[in-house]
């Protein structure tokens, strides 16, 4: 059993070192995330009551769009230098290797995104219980974004048609966005957010079980 | 010969393009006839015979386009996912062709459902687009269709495109109930559920029969449109086989 | 049920007929385009077949 | 019953038939060269043997079992080296080799410096691949064959971007592997000096 765990961590460590080696791929989505958030006060006027109400929504939508941009990085470099073939043809199940890569993507993009999102939340004076709901929904939501995103990236890597990835992925992200936003709004008015959190964790568990297998199948199809 | 072996042989025989090409002519003849009859019956029943609804007056007659279109939008997506799955697992070329050619028809049904739903909303709720739960789910379904079609056209090799499309359709099928339920949850929280009670007209028997005719008409229409597209693609696929060449020669005497 | 009553559709005419109009257009397109495409493909394949046969 | 067998294989790429009705058996110690002009389907045949591409007709069997059924059993017995080197430019040679070694599942610990010495890259353990030349990168990619116990090697153009002695090293390695009972299938249009080792041939493309 530890043979499989060992290979999981080898691939994970490899991807993390790769991410730290070329920082631009790792920092750009965060900068993009902050820039989108800055657009909204410019659009609505900085101190308007409307902005107060929308802040957590803006944070979540910017997180979603930033993840959308960062998804390409999971397989693009492997696809270009051919190591995706080596992964597909290794003796270990491709599902395991793919989940290692998706975990690496979440650690390099999802986690920093949550930290930066919370910082911007503080700066934009979001009330504390909304911050808590924002943190929980982001913690449950961003892995789902990475997992489902990996399927679509595996299908569309290297294809012409630039926005194809976002066109395919955003409809699948809507349930996560809907439940997160409902949880955040309930938290702002002090109601319990248990229902939405249950649903989000349900979607997360579904994504964890089904997404890696589908990504492996999608990769095999894309390589054929 | 055991039952399993018999239907296994029949399944593979049915899946051979040549056999399907000949059969499809017969099927589409019947389908066209049934389709026209159902359309006439449905329209006549729906527009003329059915009494006006006590609450909505005559505007409920849009239901005879909206409900069948919406039903077909979901039905075609399921057919696409199932056919894609069969093509993916058993590498049956015919299933891939059926899946790929169902997408545009499904997309136009979804578009029809959206437009009719929006126009139906105007007399009832006063605005064309009223973020009603069902309409929003169909809007997302419309984007799932557009994504599928865009993905198909992004690949040069058709076989790979079909299998990639099958994966996307299967992922979509898993997501449709989640999307639908989350949108329902979202819309009941925002608008309150009063609105969704009104627009379900108390369906009186004389209103229901035309509706069934219209659904049948849409289904047979789907079959006819699909068969034309599938036949064209079979010809393209099998263009260098002898039976297609022979067919093209015979066809030549007919046209010129 | 005179014709004008039928056409006015109890005052909802401007909602019902556009819907049926669009429905007719969409259905017509879904039949016409495939038929044109089928004819085009058959013509192309015939041309290719003739050129092949004339070569051999 | 041969170990590696290709039965009546057909390959269609973008609706034109590259080759069809291809039959071949490879025994213990067999060395097979696939040659043919560019675009004749050399790489496609290799990718089919490996299972990357689906064959529209025919089958490929390893120990009598179709590779589609026993995918991971087959994959643990073979090593594939394609056009692209399959190494990461941002990692050093040692890190790349560590990953390759882990992926090959070979338990014994390996002295990376000795392997690098064997392929003529002595002392370059901690150099980033992005600073190496194409030939050096190709050798680091090829070093994966030193680290696997797999019996069957499938090499796609192993010699391009390699200089003369690089080619010699790889040739000796292939011959050593075959005499030790391994099997090698490689696609190249260059000639091989393997001093008399029995070389089997598959020629693709219609101009013979």
**CATH code: domain of residue B184:** 1.20.120
Separation CA D119–CA D87 (nearest Å): 16
- Measure CB to CB from residue D86 to each of A6, A82, A224 and give the nearest one: A82
Distance from C-alpha of B182 to C-alpha of B176, rounded to nearest angstrom: 10
Q: In this complex, is the C-beta atom of D104 within 8 Å of any C-beta atom belonging to chain A?
A: yes
What is the model's pLDDT at position D65? 86
For D103, the closest chain A residue by CA position comes to A90
Say how far residue B150 (Cα) sits from the centre of its chain.
18
Q: Which residue has the tokens 């279109």?
A: B69
pLDDT at B203 > cutoff 70: no
D10 strand-pairing partners: D57
Copy the structure tokens of residue D95.
Answer: 């890190």
pLDDT digits (tens, 9 = 90+) for A58-88: 999 999 999 988 898 889 889 988 899 999 9
Residue B3 belongs to a domain? no
* Contact check, Cβ <8 Å, D54/B159: yes
The model's confidence at residue D208, banded by pLDDT at 50, 70 and 90, is: very low
Chains linked to D by 3 or more Cβ pairs within 8 Å: A, B
Give the mean model confidence (pLDDT) for residues D22-47: 85
Q: What pLDDT is stored for residue B196 in this prediction?
A: 47
How would you list the strands of the sheet with D200-203, edge to edge? D78-81, D152-156, D183-187, D31-35, D200-203
Is 70 exceeded by the pLDDT of residue B135? yes
Q: Is residue B2 part of a domain?
A: no
User: What is the total residue count of chain C?
Assistant: 56
For residue B167, report the phi and psi dihedrals to the nearest 5 degrees: -60, -45
B156/D54 touch (CB, cutoff 8 Å), yes or no: no
What's the rounded Cα separation, in Å, for the pair B80 and B166?
Answer: 8
A18 CB-near residues (< 8 Å, 6+ apart): A77, D88, D90, D91
Q: Strands D65-66 and D152-156, how do they pair?
A: unpaired
Of A21, A85, A90, the CB nearest to D90: A21
Rounded Cα–Cα distance for residues D6 and D9 (Å): 7
Q: A7 in contact with D at a CB cutoff of 8 Å?
A: yes
Per the rule left: phi > 0, alpha: psi between -120 and 50, beta: everything else, C14 is: alpha
Q: Is residue B200 part of a domain?
A: yes
pLDDT at B205 over 80: no
pLDDT at B1: 56
D92 touches chain A (CB under 8 A): no
At residue D70, the 3 state secondary structure works out as: coil
Q: Is the CB of residue A89 less than 8 Å away from at least one CB of chain D?
A: yes
pLDDT band at D1 (very low <50, low <70, confident <90, very high): low
D95 shares contact with chain A (CB less than 8 Å): yes
Mind telling me how many Å the CA of B192 is from chain A's nearest CA? Answer: 14
Name the band, by pLDDT with cuts 50, 70 and 90, for residue B168: very high
pLDDT digits (tens, 9 = 90+) for A135-169: 999 999 999 999 999 999 999 988 876 688 888 99
Q: Does some domain include residue B120?
A: yes
pLDDT grade for B194, boundaries at 50, 70 and 90: very low
Comparing alpha-carbon positions, the chain A residue that sits nearest to B151 is A164
Contacts of C22 in chain B (CB under 8 A): 112, 115-116
This prediction's pTM: 0.89
Among A13, A20, A80, A81, most D C-beta atoms within 10 A, so best to mutate, is A81
B38 domain-assigned: yes
CB distance D54–B157 less than 8 Å? no
pLDDT in tens, B209-249: 888 999 999 999 999 999 999 999 998 888 878 888 888 88
pLDDT in tens, A2-48: 889 999 999 999 999 999 988 888 888 999 999 999 898 888 887 77
Average confidence score pLDDT of chain D: 84
> Where do we find the tokens 């990475």?
A146
pLDDT of residue B240: 79
Smallest CA-to-CA distance from A71 within A17, A134, A29 is with A29
What is the extent of the structural domain holding B176?
A: 21-244
For residue range C15-55, list pLDDT tens digits in order: 888 889 999 999 999 999 999 999 999 999 888 888 888 87
B167 touches chain A (CB under 8 A): yes
Q: Is the pLDDT of residue D188 over 70?
A: yes
Domain count, chain B: 1
Picking from A14, A82, A88, the nearest residue to D99 by CB comes out as: A14
Rounded Cα–Cα distance for residues A45 and D66 (Å): 67
Q: Which residue has the higher pLDDT, D182 or B145?
A: B145
Nearest 10 degrees: Cα torsion B21, B25, B27, B29: 170
Q: Are A151 and A101 spatial neighbours (Cβ–Cβ below 8 Å)?
A: no
Percent of chain D with pLDDT over 90: 0
Alpha-carbon span D120 to B160, nearest angstrom: 41
Query: Across chain A, how many H-helices and E-strands are there?
Result: 10, 0
Question: Is the pLDDT score of C1 beyond 60?
Answer: no
Per-residue pLDDT at B198: 47
Going from N- to C-terminal start, the domains of chain C cover 3-55
């Amino acid at each position: 059993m530890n043979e499989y765990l060992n290979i999981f961590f080898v691939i994970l460590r490899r991807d993390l070192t790769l991410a730290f080696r070329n920082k631009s791929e790792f920092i750009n989505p965060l900068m993009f995330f902050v820039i989108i958030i800055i657009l909204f006060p410019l659009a609505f006027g900085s101190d308007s009551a409307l902005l107060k109400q929308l802040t957590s929504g803006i944070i979540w939508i910017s997180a979603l769009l930033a993840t959308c941009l960062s998804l390409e990085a999971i397989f693009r470099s492997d696809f270009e230098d051919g190591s995706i073939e080596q992964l597909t043809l290794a003796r270990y199940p491709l599902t395991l290797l793919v989940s290692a890569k998706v975990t690496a993507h979440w650690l390099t993009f999802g986690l920093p995104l949550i930290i930066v999102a919370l910082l911007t939340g503080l700066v934009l004076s979001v009330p504390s219980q909304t911050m808590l709901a924002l943190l929980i929904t982001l913690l449950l939501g961003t892995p789902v974004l990475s997992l489902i995103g990996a399927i679509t990236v595996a299908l569309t890597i290297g294809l012409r048609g630039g926005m194809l990835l976002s066109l395919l992925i955003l409809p699948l992200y809507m349930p996560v966005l809907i439940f997160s936003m409902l949880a955040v709004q309930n938290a702002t008015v002090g109601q319990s957010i248990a229902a939405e959190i249950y649903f989000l964790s349900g979607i997360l568990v579904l994504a964890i079980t089904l997404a890696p297998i589908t990504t492996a199948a999608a990769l095999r199809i894309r390589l054929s | 010969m055991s039952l399993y072996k018999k239907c296994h042989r029949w399944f593979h025989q049915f899946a051979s393009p040549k056999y399907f090409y000949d059969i499809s002519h017969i099927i589409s003849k019947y389908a066209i006839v049934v389709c026209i009859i159902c359309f006439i019956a449905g329209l006549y029943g729906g527009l003329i015979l059915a009494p006006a609804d006590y609450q909505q007056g005559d505007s409920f007659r849009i239901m005879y386009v909206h409900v069948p279109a919406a039903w077909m939008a979901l039905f075609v997506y399921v057919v696409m996912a199932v056919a894609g799955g069969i093509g993916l697992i058993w590498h049956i070329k015919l299933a891939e062709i059926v899946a790929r050619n169902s997408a545009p028809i499904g997309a136009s049904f979804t578009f029809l459902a959206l437009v009719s739903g929006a126009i139906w909303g105007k007399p009832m709720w006063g605005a064309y687009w009223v973020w009603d739960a069902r309409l929003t789910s169909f809007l997302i379904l419309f984007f799932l269709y557009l994504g599928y079609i865009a993905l198909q056209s992004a690949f040069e090799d058709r076989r790979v495109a079909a299998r990639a499309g099958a994966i996307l359709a299967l992922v979509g099928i898993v997501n449709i109930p989640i999307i639908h339920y989350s949108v329902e949850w979202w819309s009941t929280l925002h608008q309150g559920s009063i609105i969704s009670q009104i627009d379900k007209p108390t369906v009186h028997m004389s209103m229901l029969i035309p509706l069934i005719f219209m659904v049948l008409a849409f289904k047979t229409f789907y079959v006819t449109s699909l068969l034309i597209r599938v036949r064209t693609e079979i010809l393209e696929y099998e263009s260098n086989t002898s039976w297609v060449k022979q067919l093209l020669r015979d066809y030549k005497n007919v046209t010129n | 049920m005179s014709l004008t009553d039928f056409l006015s559709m109890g005052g909802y005419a401007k909602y019902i007929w556009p819907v049926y109009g669009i429905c007719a257009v969409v259905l017509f397109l879904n039949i016409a385009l495939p038929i044109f495409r089928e004819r085009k493909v058959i013509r192309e394949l015939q041309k290719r077949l003739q050129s092949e046969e004339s070569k051999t | 019953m041969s170990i590696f067998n290709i039965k009546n294989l057909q390959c269609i790429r973008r609706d034109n038939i590259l080759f069809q009705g291809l039959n071949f058996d490879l025994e213990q110690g067999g060395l097979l060269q696939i040659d043919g002009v560019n675009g004749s389907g050399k790489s496609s045949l290799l990718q089919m043997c490996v299972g990357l591409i689906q064959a529209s007709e025919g089958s490929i069997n390893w120990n009598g079992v179709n590779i589609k059924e026993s995918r991971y059993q087959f994959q643990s017995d073979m090593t594939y080296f394609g056009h692209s080197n399959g190494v990461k430019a941002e990692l050093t040679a040692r890190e790349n080799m560590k990953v390759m070694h882990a992926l090959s599942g070979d338990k014994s610990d390996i002295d990376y410096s000795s392997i690098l010495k064997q392929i003529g890259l002595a002392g370059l353990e901690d150099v980033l691949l992005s600073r190496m030349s194409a030939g050096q990168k190709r050798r680091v990619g090829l070093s994966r064959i030193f680290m696997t116990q797999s019996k069957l090697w499938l090499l796609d153009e192993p010699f391009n971007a390699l200089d003369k002695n690089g080619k010699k090293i790889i040739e000796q390695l292939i011959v050593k592997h075959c005499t030790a009972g391994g099997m090698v299938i490689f696609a190249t249009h260059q000639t091989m000096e393997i001093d008399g080792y029995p070389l089997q041939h598959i020629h693709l493309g219609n101009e013979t």
